[in-house]
Amino acid sequence: MTTTTERPTRTDAPADAWGGTSMVTQITVLTGRSLRALRDPRMLIMSILQPLIMLTLFSQVFRSVAESPNFPKDLDYIDYLMPAILVTTGSQAAMWAGVGLANDLKNGALARFRTLPINMMSVLAARSLFDMVRNGLQLSILLIAATLLFGFGPAGGVLGVLAALALALVIGWGLAWVFLALAAWVRNLEVMQMIGMVAMFPLMFASSAFVTTDSLPGWLRVIAEINPLTYAIDASRGLALGDPSWSPVFGALITSGVIAAVGAVFAFRGVRKP
Amino acid sequence: MTELMIEAEHVRKVFGDVVALDDVSLRVPKGTVMGLLGHNGAGKTTLVNVLTTVLPAESGRASVAGNDLTTAPDKVRSSIGVTGQFASVDELLTGRQNLILVARLLGASPGQARERASDLLELFDLADAADRKASTYSGGMKRRLDLATSLLGHPEVVFLDEPTTGLDPTSRVSLWEIVERLVDDGTTVLLTTQYMEEADRLADSITVLSNGSVVAAGTAAELKADVGQRTVAVTLTGESDPAAALESLRRKGLRPMNEKPQRALTIPVGAASDVAVVVRALDDVDAEVSELNVHEPTLDDVYLALTRTKTAA
């Protein structure tokens, strides 16, 4: 033992037994690596803070929306708002997948991965999976807070809420690939966060997230009605309120899939460049 | 013939309209160290990137450990270890976690990965810091962890891209010793460096790159013989006659660099035994010597001479 551990010899272990590994193992190992970051709860707390503040503010400030003539009768504003918060928070969190990848590109972890016998798609898939787990945690905390503090309890019941949560996760996952592609090509955290803000913020407000589209002024209504986020929010709301309309649900799922696929192609090509 | 572990033929790589590598060929036999010398931007890192399958070459062919870069990149990646110019360690993980992660990606079972990680932490003097986050490591420790990571899979060929840049002298020497042990065990190493001392100590053969082209190749001794010149510098005492000394040296067939008689004379010599000829020539005319120095050519001379001619051309 003493003689073999002193030198990095090629003969002290069955080297050739390590003949690479399957993509499933690669993705599992790499996702596990990222999950360790969750042991430091500061990141999670920071990322939950903003949506929590938004939830508090919007549920109080926009409360009067529920009294406007266009608003559905007998509906609590929190039950109307929360499914939208799930979708918008989930979409905004997609940016974090890009941030994680950009960090890996900067600190050299990606440089190492490029020289290993692994598929770079595993690296990206692990990032998007991890992001989904984190997003799931974040949205679950938000749901608990909304239920306990603001009396969230929509007609769809637990199942409806879980379906809305799942939908928000799929949408966030699809968008995560856009940010992975951005990170792979732009490789600059500030620029990426800027794009994320500029793209997401107007989309969020010019939608059915906080008010019914009928109550928006004409030009804004036009934007809101072609805004893909409106469809995603309507789908989530339908599920939570126990009145699902399936075409926006499938629309949101298919759109997310297409966005993910396109994002994946660009991310894969970008991430291989040193 | 010894087995070639790195073989590159007419490799060319272009970035836009910048030719990063132009017709680069090199061969590295098993168990030897190839030193790749060149200034910043000479193409060293690009060549390492091409040979480690990170960048595709425009044209030419190359194989590493017997596997072609373009047809069997995964086999190449399984047989190499790469330590880049900047330590590629995950600072959020501990040293041990870094090693286990890469071992698992190479195909080790969790048990094998843990065992191999412990061995390497011990070997690289990182056992005490093994369970600390890599972000708390010093530069030298990060480099050692990086190198340990490269050696996890028992690579047949190890690429070290400026491995000691920015290290303190002690860390540098300990890294050299690790490289020497690796080579003793049959590993083939390609090392890029800006330090002549490093190439002189470690490299069995040296390739000098300048502006993407190979400007010289050979052993350190060959390069020095080609370019550098051994000289003898003598200083005569005040009583000696410089003119007679110069004359006597010329009679012996030596060609002192001095045109006119001077107390300080510089005489290029071929073999080391020619130093005796210098002494005898001076003795013949009773010239008294107060100082005599033999200057061996250094790789610095070689490097400067080569890159100077290149830029002049």
Tokens, residue B119: 């061995």
- For residue A214, the enclosing domain spans 49-272
Tokens, residue A177: 């690939």
Q: How many residues comprise chain A?
A: 274
* Chain A nearest-CA residue for B86: A108
Q: What is the interface pTM, i.e. ipTM, of the complex?
A: 0.82
- Give the whole-angstrom CA distance, residue A9 versus residue A15: 10
Which of these, B120, B124, B86, lies nearest to B102 by C-alpha position? Answer: B120
Helices (runs of H) and strands (runs of E) counted in chain B: 11, 13
CA distance A109 to chain B (A): 5
- φ and ψ at residue A249, rounded to 5 degrees: -60, -50
| Cβ atoms of B43 and B205 closer than 8 Å | no
- The three-state DSSP-derived secondary structure of A222-261 is HHHHHCHHHHHHHHHHHHHCCCCCHHHHHHHHHHHHHHHH
Bridge partners (DSSP) of residue B18 are B15
Of A154-163, B119-128, B215-224, B299-308, the range with the lowest mean pLDDT is B299-308
Task: Name the burial class of residue B307, with classes exposed (0-12), middle (13-18) and buried (19+) by CB atoms within 10 angstroms of its CB.
Answer: buried
Residue B67 or residue A37, greater confidence? B67
CB contact under 8 A, B84 and A6: no
CB contact under 8 A, A108 and B97: no
CA distance A12 to chain B (A): 9
CB contact under 8 A, A115 and B106: no
- Give the whole-angstrom CA distance, residue A109 versus residue B31: 28
CB contact under 8 A, A115 and B105: no
How many Cβ pairs within 8 Å bridge chains A and B? 113
Q: Which of A12, A19, A37 sits opposite B107 (nearest CB)?
A: A19
Please provide the distance, in angstroms rounded to a whole number, between the alpha carbons at the two ends of chain A: 40
Residue B190 or residue B230, greater confidence? B190
What would the mean pLDDT of B222-251 be, rounded to a whole number?
85
* Chain A nearest-CA residue for B187: A10
CB contact under 8 A, B122 and A37: no
Would the pLDDT of B85 be above 70? yes
Question: Chain B partners of A115 at a C-beta cutoff of 8 Å?
Answer: 52-54, 77, 80, 82
- Give the whole-angstrom CA distance, residue B288 versus residue B245: 10
Question: Chain B partners of A108 at a C-beta cutoff of 8 Å?
Answer: 84, 86-89
- Give the whole-angstrom CA distance, residue A273 versus residue B55: 7
CA distance A19 to chain B (A): 6
* Chain B nearest-CA residue for A38: B92
DSSP for A166-214? HHHHHHHHHHHHHHHHHHHHH--HHHHHHHHHHHHHHHHHSSSSSS-GG
* Chain B nearest-CA residue for A106: B88
Bridge partners (DSSP) of residue B218 are B206
CB contact under 8 A, A18 and B86: no
pLDDT of residue B51: 95
pLDDT of residue B97: 95
Instruction: Outline where B80-229 has alpha helix (H).
Output: 95-105, 110-123, 139-150, 169-184, 196-202, 220-227
Model confidence pLDDT, tens digit, residues B146-194: 999 999 999 999 999 988 887 888 888 888 998 999 999 999 999 998 8
CB contact under 8 A, B88 and A13: no
Of A74-88, A197-211, B14-28, B57-71, the range with the lowest mean pLDDT is A197-211
Q: Looking up tokens 């090392």, which residue turns up?
A: B191
Tokens, residue A274: 């040193």
Question: Chain B partners of A113 at a C-beta cutoff of 8 Å?
Answer: 105
Q: Looking up tokens 């073989």, which residue turns up?
A: B7
Domain residue ranges of chain B, discontinuous segments joined by +:
4-89+137-225, 229-296
Tokens, residue B221: 């001794």
CATH topology for the B4-89+137-225 domain: Rossmann fold (3.40.50)
A16 falls within a domain:
no
pLDDT of residue B204: 94
Q: Which of B97, B105, B156 sits opposite A26 (nearest CB)?
A: B105
| Cβ atoms of A237 and A155 closer than 8 Å | no
CA distance B25 to chain A (A): 22
- The three-state DSSP-derived secondary structure of B28-69 is EECCCEEEEECCCCCCHHHHHHHHCCCCCCCEEEEEECCEEC
* Chain A nearest-CA residue for B179: A8
Q: Which of B78, B101, B178 sits opposite A19 (nearest CB)?
A: B78
Among chain A, residues having any CB pair with chain B shorter than 8 Å are: 5-13, 15, 17-21, 25-26, 29-30, 33, 36-37, 104, 107-109, 111-118, 272, 274
Give the pLDDT of chain A (274 residues) as one tens digit per residue. 333 444 444 444 444 557 788 999 999 999 999 888 777 778 778 778 888 898 888 888 888 888 888 788 788 899 999 999 999 999 888 888 898 899 888 888 898 999 999 999 999 999 999 999 999 999 999 999 999 999 899 998 999 999 999 999 999 999 999 999 999 998 888 888 888 888 888 888 888 888 888 888 889 899 988 888 899 999 999 999 998 888 889 999 999 999 999 999 999 999 988 8
CB contact under 8 A, B55 and A111: no
| Cβ atoms of A272 and A114 closer than 8 Å | yes
| Cβ atoms of B21 and B50 closer than 8 Å | yes
- Give the whole-angstrom CA distance, residue B248 versus residue B265: 12
Read off the pTM.
0.82
A35 falls within a domain:
no
- Give the whole-angstrom CA distance, residue B2 versus residue B52: 22
Residue A168 is which amino acid?
Answer: A
CB contact under 8 A, B54 and A115: yes
CB contact under 8 A, A8 and B120: yes
CA distance A96 to chain B (A): 16
pLDDT of residue A74: 81
b/e sequence B12-45, b meaning 16+ C-beta within 10 Å: bbeeeeebbbbebebebbebbbbbbbbeeebbbb
CB contact under 8 A, A15 and B97: no
Which CATH architecture best describes the domain B229-296? 2-Layer Sandwich (3.30)
pLDDT of residue A165: 96
| Cβ atoms of B199 and B17 closer than 8 Å | no
CB contact under 8 A, A115 and B93: no
Question: Chain B partners of A29 at a C-beta cutoff of 8 Å?
Answer: 101, 104-105
Element (H, E) at B192: strand B188-193
Element (H, E) at B18: strand B18-29
- Give the whole-angstrom CA distance, residue B30 versus residue B183: 9
CB contact under 8 A, A12 and B119: yes
Q: What percent of chain B has pLDDT over 90?
A: 47
DSSP, res A117: S
- Give the whole-angstrom CA distance, residue A32 versus residue A271: 20
CB contact under 8 A, A11 and B185: yes
CB contact under 8 A, B78 and A20: yes
Confidence of residue B1 (pLDDT cuts 50, 70, 90): low
CB contact under 8 A, B90 and A109: yes
Which of these, B232, B127, B49, lies nearest to A274 by C-alpha position? Answer: B49
Which of these, A32, A117, A112, lies nearest to B106 by C-alpha position? Answer: A117
- Give the whole-angstrom CA distance, residue A113 versus residue A120: 8
- Give the whole-angstrom CA distance, residue A57 versus residue A10: 63
* Chain B nearest-CA residue for A37: B92
Q: Which of A6, A20, A36 sits opposite B107 (nearest CB)?
A: A20
Structurally, chain A folds into a number of domains equal to 1
- Cα A196 → chain centroid: 12
A177 falls within a domain:
yes
CB contact under 8 A, B86 and A114: no
CB contact under 8 A, A10 and B186: yes
Question: Chain A partners of B181 at a C-beta cutoff of 8 Å?
Answer: 7-8
A34 falls within a domain:
no
